[in-house]
Amino acid sequence: MTDAATNMRLKLPIVCFILQIILIILFGVLVQYDHDTDAKEWHNKNQSDYDNDFYYRYPSFQDVHVMIFIGFGFLMTFLQRYGFSSVGFNFLIAAFSLQWATLMQGFFHGMHGGKIHIGVESMINADFCTGAVLISFGAVLGKTSPVQLLIMAIFEVTLFAVNEFVLLSALGAKDAGGSMTIHTFGAYFGLMVTRVLYRPNLNKSKHRNSSVYHSDLFAMIGTIYLWMFWPSFNSAVTAHGDDQHRTAMNTYYSLAACTLSTYGMSALTAHDGKLDMVHIQNAALAGGVAAGTAGEMMLTPYGSMIVGFLAGIISVLGFKYLSPILEDKLKIQDTCGVHNLHGMPGVLGAIVGAVTAAVASTDVYGKGMGDVFPDVASGQIEASYQGVRQAISLAVTLGIALGGGLFVGFILKLPVFGAPSDTICYEDSIYWEVPGDEEGHEEQLTAVNTAETEKLNS
């Protein structure tokens, strides 16, 4: 069913090979092992092998890695005829993004003597950056080619690294679980891209922009993986000890409370009281997003539950009422509803982080203040000013995400990248070989596409 416009015979190999060759060259010139990874450097330190950072960080890395490749991938398989593309393109852009992120984040955070030092923590951070790209992927799911997605990843990873540097280094904000740097940035970047790529005739493919029983079941696999491993995601790069322990626990209870409020709101907003699987697949995860910024802070267990409870309510209301308004009024065609799962809960998490930071005190944190808010502990700033830093960081993130998405959206509009036409969106057989029992369906789609082409040429 592939036509000249969407044929990836040359486009995809050229982009993949060129990008990977460039990455290999850059890694060869700029990247080297850090002191915990290098044989000579590590053994010069005369430490026990079990003091190596690998043993502290790698379990968290494994969990984050599963979220990126299985969780995000399968969460997007809800479309009835886009499962290959959801998992497959997720795999492709994640594999590219984690390599490019290693370089971009290294330029800002990991340069030592002109070299980028990498270890298990840089692997985690690269996966975090990749997560933001996959969030944006959800907004444009089904309407873009793999080449467009790779081009989007090039720019988004770069802007992510810039935004992360501004927030964490220049502004001194705290955002261990990425409510701002990952979720808010990825969501609003993707929303702006999909706004620029708006398709006024997308209703021609609306019969495929829906789920069936088995596709929703596959998507729930992604949901459960993400739900289970989210405490690891938020706590992966926090300081060892109580900070990491507290972050995982706060996320754990936020997710649990969020799940109950999601089920309750889903039934409440349906006229027949039936649960909507879209809400369960997505809104039940919003508690993990909302606990990202304040997770390492002394949020308290009941505070975490309040945050998760509110996140679930906001997310379900977004899916039920706000998404149709965004599409009708603002022309934002958000396929996966990333605004409801990542955007609004990310903003909520940023606000919670700002408030929690502003009321921090040594009576509550004791000597632990130095881990969570080192500038407050040293007396450089007051806790209230740390709260201001957090609020400013949210505004900066929104500005960079929206501006960057606008710029990248116009680049992706170029016809050379092989985007599908309005009549054949959300369809695997455009870019994939599908099983033999799909031949009749492919012939039907070919006829539709041919008729559409003839209509445009007449």
Residue 447 has pLDDT above 90, yes or no: no
CATH number at residue 167: 1.10.3430.10
Residues 154 and 97: beta-carbon distance below 8 Å = no
The answer, yes or no, to whether residue 455 has pLDDT greater than 90, is no
Work out whether strand 31-33 and strand 111-112 pair parallel, antiparallel, or are unpaired. unpaired
Q: Is 206 among the domain residues?
A: no
Q: Which residues contact 451 (CB under 8 A, 6 or more apart)?
A: none
Tell me which residue of 290, 303, 298 sits closest to 372, measured CA to CA: 298
Residue 222 lies in a domain: no
- What pLDDT score does 456 carry? 46
Instruction: Please check the confidence at residue 424 and state whether its pLDDT lies above 50.
Output: yes
Task: Give a yes or no: residue 397 inside a domain.
Answer: yes
* Structural contact between residues 178 and 232, judged by C-beta atoms closer than 8 angstroms: no
Rounded Cα gap, residues 323 and 158, in angstroms: 29
Residue type, 58: Y
> Whole-structure pTM over 0.75, yes or no?
yes
Q: Is the pLDDT of residue 160 over 60?
A: yes
**% pLDDT > 70, the chain:** 94
The Cα–Cα gap between 262 and 278 comes to: 11
In a domain, 213, yes or no: no
146 has which bridge partners? Answer: none
Predicted local confidence at residue 47, as pLDDT:
83
Residue whose structure tokens are 């679930």: 312
What would the two tokens of residue 195 be? 């706004």
CB 74 within 8 A of CB 92: no
pLDDT at 407 over 90: yes
Distance CA 364, CA 99 (A): 40
Between strands 115-118 and 111-112, the pairing is antiparallel
Q: How far apart are the first and last CA of the chain?
A: 21
Residue holding tokens 């990991």? 110
Q: Which domain holds residue 412?
A: 11-39+88-199+229-419
Mean pLDDT estimate for the chain: 94
What letter represents residue 412's amino acid?
Answer: L
Whether 138 and 85 have beta carbons less than 8 Å apart is answered as no
Mean pLDDT score, 381-397: 98
Strand, helix or coil at 232?
Answer: helix
* Domain count for the chain: 1
Per-residue pLDDT at 441 = 55
211 confidence band (pLDDT: 50, 70, 90): very high
Q: What's the rounded Cα separation, in Å, for the pair 419 and 217?
A: 28
What is the model's pLDDT at position 39?
93
Assess contact for 278 and 78: CB atoms under 8 A: yes
Reduced to 3 states, what is the DSSP secondary structure of residue 32? strand
Residue 2: predicted pLDDT? 55
Could you report the per-residue pLDDT of 127-143, keeping only the tens digit for each? Answer: 999 999 999 999 999 99
**Is residue 276 included in any domain, yes or no?**
yes
**116 Cβ partners below 8 Å, 6+ apart?**
30, 31, 32, 102, 103, 106, 107, 110
Beta strands 115-118 and 31-33, pairing class:
parallel
Instruction: Give 112's strand partners.
Output: 115
User: Could you report the per-residue pLDDT of 92-107, keeping only the tens digit for each?
Assistant: 999 999 999 999 999 9
pLDDT at position 5: 84
Closest CA to 62 of 108, 127, 114: 127
Which element (helix H / strand E) includes 31? strand 31-33
Mean pLDDT along residues 345-363: 98
Q: pLDDT tens, 257-296?
A: 999 999 999 999 999 999 999 999 999 999 999 999 999 9
Closest by CA position to 287, among listed 305, 266, 269, 268: 305
Contacts of 103 (CB under 8 A, 6+ apart): 23, 26, 27, 30, 31, 116
CA–CA separation, 314 and 349 (whole Å): 12
How is 267-283 classified by DSSP, letter by letter?
A: HHTSTT-PPPHHHHHHG
Does 431 fall in a domain? no
Tens digits of residue pLDDT in 39-73: 999 998 878 889 999 999 999 999 999 999 999 99
pLDDT exceeds 70 at position 238: yes
Q: And the tokens for 292?
A: 């990202």
Task: Report the pLDDT value the prediction gives residue 457, as an integer from 0 to 100.
Answer: 47
Q: Could you tell me if residue 346 is inside a domain?
A: yes
Query: What is 81-129 written as a DSSP string?
Result: T-HHHHHHHHHHHHHHHHHHHHHHHHHHH-EETTEEEE-HHHHHHHHHH
Query: CA–CA distance from 288 to each of 183, 235, 310, 311 (Å)?
Result: 10, 11, 12, 9
The answer to whether residue 319 sits within a structural domain is yes
- The region that residue 172 occupies, defined by phi over 0 for left and psi between -120 and 50 for alpha, beta otherwise, is left
Residue 234 in this model has a pLDDT that exceeds 70: yes
| C-alpha count within 13 angstroms, C-beta hemisphere, residue 145 | 26
> Among 106-110, 144-148, 167-171, where is mean pLDDT lowest?
106-110
Higher pLDDT, 222 or 206: 222
pLDDT of residue 379: 94
